[in-house]
Amino acid sequence: MRSLIDIHDFSVEEIDKLIETANDIIANPSKYAEKCKGKKLATLFYEPSTRTRLSFEAAMMELGGNVIGFSEASSSSAAKGESVADTAKVMSAYADIIAMRHPQEGAPYVASRNASVPVINAGDGGHNHPTQTLTDLLTISREKGRLDNLTVGFCGDLKYGRTVHSLIAALARYKNVKIVLISPSELTIPSYVRYEVLNKNGMEYVETTDLEGAMPSLDVLYMTRIQRERFEEEADYERLKDSYILTEDKLKRAKSDLAILHPLPRVNEISVKVDSDPRACYFKQVHNGKYIRMALILQLLLEADGVIAPEDRNYMLVNKLSCGNKRCITQTEQELDQLFKVTDPEAGICRCVYCEAKVFTK
Ligand code: CP
């Protein structure tokens, strides 16, 4: 059963096909109005959401399907201690496809290993957010006409910003994409993105704290919110929260065809005055999110009906290792297989498949 847990679960060709389908849905919505008649989507959201949950629900309704689910853990049996694995088994009896958001890294992957229907990762802690990435790729391709030959700046909280991690992983597979990472030194990208994505793919990238200095080189500027909910100390959030505020003045040095993206919600990092700038694409991005999720639901249900055979992930089981990341789903879920992927055999480095934290074997 194929799920979307990590953006690499879909090849570049498959992502191109999703983008093509989304563009066709935008042009011919009535053609798709009954494609999911009789099907149910379950939205299992253990964390707050406006766009992702409601765009999934709108997507399924516009495909003629129905929606069930919960929007907070406290209104589900998770509040009584039910595991993610059991919830996934139960929901497989009620729904044809599941979209899950969870604060713990790797939780949707655990769900996918226990569900008998496709599971879509709608955001797992500070780890990944692959459907936001599909939204971003559709937006970039519609705005710039290409996904190759781009300089993309990421600005803000690159440490906890899961949308950043997934989008960099996706862009690594396109040609001649240069990355500019703009953040305070405390909020730089996690090591698995630096070593497993940027370095291993030989991507050209620079790290800087200077947004204005980077501005003239950028084709795409991806602004992000400082992720208050991931900080252990409120004082650290207060110190860093206004590190970057994009204003009309700062955009004077930008290209005339820059595309400004933001996964939203915005707090203070883009002045509302920028919204009327033709380069501001973040509300168009919101629209695109619904259409690409329609394309994704269609594709996964097509595969689940046995029309297309899914590929399995190939990880090794190493019971004597354990993941030390306290935000990982392995910390709370019972009897979970300790699965790892070997990323650097010579140095004895493995990574937890649930959250990608580094584990040493030597
Ligand atoms: N972009 C995004 O994930 O927004 P929500 O948190 O509102 O779903």
Q: Same structural domain for residues 46 and 92?
A: yes
**Mutation pick for ligand 1 pocket among 101, 121, 225, 264 (CB with most ligand atoms within 8 Å):** 264
Question: 278 by DSSP, 3-state: which?
Answer: coil
Check if the beta carbon of residue 177 is closer than 8 Å to that of residue 148. Answer: yes
Task: Give nearest CA residue, ligand 1 atom 4.
Answer: 51
Rounded distance between C-alpha atoms, residue 328 and residue 13, angstroms: 31
Q: How far is the CA of 232 from the centre of ligand 1 (A)?
A: 21
Segment 140-181, tens digit of pLDDT: 999 999 999 999 999 999 999 999 999 999 999 999 999 999
Q: Please report the atom of ligand 1 found closest to the CA of residue 52.
A: 8
Considering the domain boundaries, does residue 226 fall inside one? yes
The CATH number assigned to the domain holding 349 equals 2.30.30
Cα→Cα distances 25→63, 150, 250, 291, 293, Å? 10, 26, 36, 7, 11
Q: Compute, in angstroms, the gap from residue 187 CA to the centroid of ligand 1.
A: 20
Contact 351, 358 (CB under 8 A): yes
Nearest to 207 by CA among 246, 168, 262, 174: 168
Report whether residue 132 contacts ligand 1, using a CB cutoff of 6 Å. yes
Residue 36 clears pLDDT 50, i.e. is over it: yes
Q: Which of 47, 50, 164, 288 to mutate to test the pocket of ligand 1 (most atoms within 8 A of CB)?
A: 50
Q: Which atom of ligand 1 approaches the CA of 129 most closely?
A: 3
Taking the centre of ligand 1 as the mean of its atom positions, its distance from the CA of residue 309, in whole angstroms, is 31
Are 200 and 191 contacting, i.e. CB atoms less than 8 angstroms apart? no
Per-residue pLDDT tens over the stretch 258-308: 999 999 999 999 999 999 999 999 999 999 999 999 999 999 999 997 655
Selection from 51, 81, 56, 79 nearest residue 69 by Cα: 56
CB 229 near ligand 1, within 6 Å:
no
Cis before 130? omega within 30 = no
- Longest Cα separation, the chain: 58
Are residues 60 and 53 in contact, defined by beta-carbon separation less than 8 angstroms?
no
Number of domains in the chain: 3
Which residues form the domain of 320?
A: 316-360
The domain that holds 205 is classified in CATH as 3.40.50.1370
pLDDT of the residue at 29: 97
Q: Is residue 70 part of a domain?
A: yes
Q: List CB contacts of 276: < 8 A, sequence separation 6 or more.
A: none
Does residue 136 lie within any of the structural domains?
A: no
Q: Are residues 279 and 343 in the same domain?
A: no
User: What's the confidence (pLDDT) of residue 310?
Assistant: 46
CA distance 25 to 33: 9
> Domain check: are 36 and 88 in the same one?
yes
Same domain for 238 and 185: yes
Which atom of ligand 1 sits closest to the CA of residue 53?
Answer: 8
Whether 263 lines ligand 1, by a CB cut-off of 6 Å, is yes
Quick check: CB of 141 below 6 Å from ligand 1?
no
**DSSP conformation class of 135:** H
Please write the tens of the pLDDT for every residue from 195-211: 999 999 999 999 999 99
In a domain? residue 168: yes
> Tens of pLDDT along 38-50?
999 999 999 999 9
- Rounded to two decimals, the pTM is 0.91
Q: Are strands 97-102 and 40-45 parallel, antiparallel or unpaired?
A: parallel
